[in-house]
Amino acid sequence: MSHTRRLAFIAGALYLLTVVTSIPALALKDPVLADPATAATGATALQWAATLEMVLALACIGTAVALFPVVRRVDEATALGFVGSRTLEAAIIVMGVLAMLSVTVAGPAAQALVGMHDWAFLLGPGTLPAVNALLLAPLLLRAGLVPRIIPILGLIGAPLLLGAAVGILFGVIDQVSAAGFLSAVLIAAWEIALGFWLLLKGFNTDAVERLYAPARTVELVDAH
């Protein structure tokens, strides 16, 4: 397995890990956070959700770290922006985890902590995946590293998710709405499709060769 194939495999596996951790975490924590009075009895569910979300946060950073050595050859500044955005998303997820775990011991302040968690969810997983897509998808599309339909999905879903997040932030639309659902589905489809493609197929070989060819030419010249 070549170095770039290994990086693609790792990135794909981590993208899929973000999906398989986020969905059960949401299912575990939502019933408890909907009624903070039950937080003491639902502590175990919150602890499992917190564990899954910590794995999710690490996987978020891992996807960017794995992809960076390849996509920086397309545009290093944008690739660094993607790493920064993904890291910020992970940090906000961890902030939400801390607020969520504190609900079990907060007593009268539990509702405020639930509010903090909800805002962290909106600004982190509810918004930053759109920023990630706007940074990463053009790099993949420009270099032809994956089939065009995959980054195009991200570029369609990203403005919809940003619009929905702004609408929720200002109370124009509900967090549970058709617009929010559609935007989330498109971004999820982009990340799942990218994850599976990178895991099973890897980067387009011709695209990788084009990206690495200039560096190899310089190495050959220096050797002589």
For residue 52, what are its two tokens? Answer: 């899954």
Range scoring the smallest mean pLDDT among 15-19, 20-24, 177-181? 177-181
- In this prediction, residues 53-60 reach a mean pLDDT of 98
Q: What is the pLDDT of residue 73?
A: 96
Q: What is the pLDDT of residue 217?
A: 41
Range scoring the smallest mean pLDDT among 15-19, 175-179, 216-220? 216-220
38 band by pLDDT with thresholds 50, 70 and 90: confident
In tens, the pLDDT along 63-109 reads: 999 999 999 999 999 999 999 999 999 999 999 999 999 988 867 78
For residue 132, what are its two tokens? Answer: 């990630």
Q: What is the pLDDT of residue 58?
A: 98
Domain that holds residue 158: 3-223
Looking at beta carbons, which pairs linking 209-214 to residues 24 or more positions away fall under 8 Å?
A: 210/143, 211/70, 211/73, 211/74, 211/143, 212/4, 212/73
- The domain total for the chain is 1
The closest of 169, 133, 166 to 151, measured between CA atoms, is 133
- Measure the CA–CA gap between 159 and 154, rounded to whole angstroms: 9
How many residues appear in the chain? 224
Taking residue 148's Cβ as centre, other Cβ atoms within 10 Å add up to 10
Contact 209, 215 (CB under 8 A): no
- Measure the CA–CA gap between 16 and 198, rounded to whole angstroms: 10
In tens, the pLDDT along 172-204 reads: 887 666 767 787 899 999 999 999 999 999 999
